[in-house]
Structure 1
């Protein structure tokens, strides 16, 4: 069936930006004026505004509706994984897995080096499993409990968790976004990973030095010792702790090593966790089902511990999933009506030098991340729109794949209404809203996530690690990508969302 939107010319830059500016204004009013962090309705109004602008340009509602729902279709694996992670968190707490990690972590981790150790552990686990979300929802949750016991501010702990977890997501060949970036730019995945080392390694080292310098807490502090004692006693009284409780975590790591798809791997670990809960904690089958759906509940007598452990379940992800739905519909309508394409096209036309082009290629995914709420679109859209500009200047598309990975994957958890940011806030139990936004300080404290794209921009200004195209290499490594066809307005026609969805087989 012919796509009727092909006959509609690209909007003017002003027309493309107006619904975006109006939506950002609505978000700012609710967030900063009313002190209410519930961006769902502003994003819904933004989708309506974008649809009205699209209708005024000749788009039919069914076309724009299809655009929004197609983007939802692309992100369905991510949302399904969120739901399974919610189930997993509730069950892993009831099985004693998370309590065991907290209990022995308090004994093994040095309070003085807590933040540095947190980043390193999350980086290693995320690199192995290829999933920042799994790392944040399991090990990250346990580390939050350890940080609370040590008296470390939650935003410092969350920042170090995010820095480490999303490092693995960016560098692991098992990660979906690490596969998506070279796929849309038609580069080799291992060349892509190698090309990210010059920005990733310094960013991680700088972050590690900062976390080591800040430390964690004074090991001799009396209040910290009291909290540690209270939490360990509360855990030992409420749970059976030991090796058996770590089996679900070992299942996740094993299945990840075997390259099992994320959803069946996480669901298998959930089932194993439920069995462990029934066998070792005396939990009934009905209770396991309740914990998987509604989250775990316990009263240990230690307020900080109860706040940490009373969470998880499918229902805990409702706020996050609904936020993602609103954001994706808004982004999908903007993409369908070619508003995002117009903005990107304008940028590529203005970028006459490699310095400007590389800087734009890093910043554009950040822009799309913030507007659409979807990390996949933030990678896929610039990745297919910028190719011709790199060809024109004679530079390798590996520069582009690195730029979109850093502006897309790493910035995703730093935008609260993005899929990555919403999940991070929910999974780590960060308090946001009612005028209290102190926990959002994790955003500037996730040093590795914003230092890496910053280094990429700095390198571009001085021509460092900026590779020229090599015409001798194979097409899937460094040859010019196949250009997309163009519509009558000259705008590139993106590949079908169905094909894009096939490239997204994992989870962030």
Structure 2
């Protein structure tokens, strides 16, 4: 009842479908066809929807309530974006990124670069429990290495994003894992075991694809690599001490410290290294570093490009996109469009395979409409939970489906919070890295396939079991 009161007006199913088709038509034409930055197209659609809602009788107060409610889930991600801007600028200035790159040049081969990136980002993601942190630290270093080795930025970014999300899905520290298990009341480790059933085959398939893509005739220019490595060593503090910020971040992850304080302490550790090595860094210079990012000035234009970035200013474009995308999502929820579309699916979920499929599609739909991964977990989760219970289906299948339809798919939506962040941090257009982020769409597909095979077979055996029938009759 409380959920229904939050909806200002209930559009019919036909009206909701027309709204979605018009919305995606405009966004697709302007973002993909005309190659516009997403902010203006989304703001345009937001404007049309806002005035249409008011024309349909929704008061301005309720419209503004919907906008506020839509933006509210993005407040923490926005703060995390700002903290990551600080982290990147401080790690660039302290030599942390340069040290990782120099080590990477020494140990990575061209042939196995992509699978190595995928595996390492996966392991780091499991350790820190955050795909954002993985991408903004190891991801930036790997982008620089891949560029020098001759790989396109798109394929390197795809391997980074795939590994980071795989690690996020398997980590007990992950916010999405804890959200899904809290929502579905599933034991965290039962959820992780269920996730492993899709993650392991999906990860192996993605790994094979990255091996194939990396196993080309491409040969790196070793002279250029040595030149870049020497320039990094001469211009930045490349040493074991520069790895202290990484050790700090990993230690805080082990202690299960939340993302914002972890990122701040990781930045502070790097800033202390900067100050110790260069006492000329006073309050004003540090403030400028954190605000505008690190600006590298070396004899090499390539190194300058690799080592310039970070800062709060460089995150403002991504933050503005999050705000307008979530504001649009808030209106879609307030006007009942999202609930109408999801509720229309419920009559068709009378079998495990269909239920898992429609749960996945609902998460994908919310991601496309709202662009917020938490809502893409919460809305389908609350809608379909009773359907899983009615079929007698273990809720671990619900939690797994919510995770794959939420966190994984969000990275594939250019206006989604994750898509915005990965694109901005790695400086790669989302539409370029998405086709290369193999794991992010293999895992949802694997979840659906298991729903129609393994889960359905177990369900049929359970229905045929006389013991289970006796127990159900006793319970009734």
TM-score, normalised to structure 1, is 0.86
Aligned residue in 2 for 1:494 = none
Please report how far the alpha carbon of residue 5 of structure 1 lies from its aligned counterpart in structure 2 after TM superposition. 4.3
Is contact 1:150-1:217 (8 Å) kept? no
Query: How many angstroms apart in 2 are the aligned matches of 1:468 and 1:61?
Result: 49
Structure 1 residues 97, 216: closer, same or farther in 2, change over 3 A? Answer: farther
Give 3-state SS (helix, strand or coil) of 1:317's partner: helix
Please report how far the alpha carbon of residue 302 of structure 1 lies from its aligned counterpart in structure 2 after TM superposition. 2.8
Aligned residue in 2 for 1:427 = 425
Query: How many angstroms apart in 2 are the aligned matches of 1:89 and 1:464?
Result: 43
Give 3-state SS (helix, strand or coil) of 2:221's partner: helix
1:226 equivalent to 2:223? Answer: yes
TM-score, normalised to structure 2, is 0.91
Aligned residue in 1 for 2:232 = 235
Which of 253, 256, 260 aligns to 1:259? It is 256
Aligned residue in 2 for 1:270 = 267
Is contact 2:352-2:459 (8 Å) kept? no
1:73 equivalent to 2:75? Answer: no
Structure 1 residues 325, 271: closer, same or farther in 2, change over 3 A? Answer: same
Please report how far the alpha carbon of residue 450 of structure 1 lies from its aligned counterpart in structure 2 after TM superposition. 0.7
Please report how far the alpha carbon of residue 417 of structure 1 lies from its aligned counterpart in structure 2 after TM superposition. 1.2
Is contact 1:152-1:217 (8 Å) kept? no
Gaps of 5+ in 1: 433-438, 471-508
What are the equivalent positions in structure 2 for 1:269-288 lying under 5 Å apart?
A: 269-281=266-278, 284-285=281-282, 286-288=284-286
Please report how far the alpha carbon of residue 462 of structure 1 lies from its aligned counterpart in structure 2 after TM superposition. 2.1
1:159 equivalent to 2:158? Answer: yes
Q: Larger % of helix: which?
A: 2
Query: How many angstroms apart in 1 are the aligned matches of 2:292 and 2:6?
Result: 46
Is contact 2:9-2:58 (8 Å) kept? no
Aligned residue in 2 for 1:314 = 312
Aligned residue in 2 for 1:203 = 202
Please report how far the alpha carbon of residue 461 of structure 1 lies from its aligned counterpart in structure 2 after TM superposition. 2.1
Query: How many angstroms apart in 2 are the aligned matches of 1:467 and 1:259?
Result: 36
Is contact 2:70-2:328 (8 Å) kept? no
Is contact 1:414-1:443 (8 Å) kept? yes
Gaps of 5+ in 2: 463-476
Please report how far the alpha carbon of residue 261 of structure 1 lies from its aligned counterpart in structure 2 after TM superposition. 1.3
Give 3-state SS (helix, strand or coil) of 1:234's partner: helix
Give 3-state SS (helix, strand or coil) of 1:409's partner: helix
Query: How many angstroms apart in 2 are the aligned matches of 1:456 and 1:236?
Result: 46
Structure 1 residues 43, 163: closer, same or farther in 2, change over 3 A? Answer: same
Please report how far the alpha carbon of residue 464 of structure 1 lies from its aligned counterpart in structure 2 after TM superposition. 3.8
Query: How many angstroms apart in 2 are the aligned matches of 1:83 and 1:450?
Result: 28
Give 3-state SS (helix, strand or coil) of 1:410's partner: helix
Per-residue CA deviation, residues 2-47 of structure 1 (Å, 9 max, x unaligned), is 99946966321122233322222221221233222x1112212222
Per-residue CA deviation, residues 258-281 of structure 1 (Å, 9 max, x unaligned), is 111110111011111111112225
Aligned residue in 2 for 1:117 = 116
Structure 1 residues 6, 280: closer, same or farther in 2, change over 3 A? Answer: closer
Structure 1 residues 253, 6: closer, same or farther in 2, change over 3 A? Answer: closer
Please report how far the alpha carbon of residue 111 of structure 1 lies from its aligned counterpart in structure 2 after TM superposition. 2.0
What are the equivalent positions in structure 2 for 1:31-430 lying under 5 Å apart?
A: 31-36=31-36, 38-215=37-214, 221=219, 224-281=221-278, 284-285=281-282, 286-430=284-428
Structure 1 residues 7, 103: closer, same or farther in 2, change over 3 A? Answer: closer
Q: Which moved more, 1:232-241 or 1:47-56?
A: 47-56
Query: How many angstroms apart in 2 are the aligned matches of 1:423 and 1:316?
Result: 11
Aligned residue in 2 for 1:474 = none
Give 3-state SS (helix, strand or coil) of 2:58's partner: coil
Give 3-state SS (helix, strand or coil) of 1:411's partner: helix
Query: How many angstroms apart in 2 are the aligned matches of 1:6 and 1:297?
Result: 47
Taking only aligned residues, the RMSD between alpha carbons, in angstroms, comes to 2.3
Aligned residue in 2 for 1:504 = none
Is contact 1:171-1:193 (8 Å) kept? yes
Query: How many angstroms apart in 2 are the aligned matches of 1:8 and 1:289?
Result: 45
Per-residue CA deviation, residues 56-77 of structure 1 (Å, 9 max, x unaligned), is 4432221221122123222211
Query: How many angstroms apart in 2 are the aligned matches of 1:173 and 1:416?
Result: 27
Query: How many angstroms apart in 2 are the aligned matches of 1:246 and 1:262?
Result: 19
Aligned residue in 1 for 2:26 = 26
Aligned residue in 2 for 1:452 = 443
Please report how far the alpha carbon of residue 415 of structure 1 lies from its aligned counterpart in structure 2 after TM superposition. 1.3
Per-residue CA deviation, residues 321-354 of structure 1 (Å, 9 max, x unaligned), is 1100001011111112211001000011233322
Query: How many angstroms apart in 2 are the aligned matches of 1:353 and 1:5?
Result: 31
Query: How many angstroms apart in 2 are the aligned matches of 1:429 and 1:45?
Result: 25
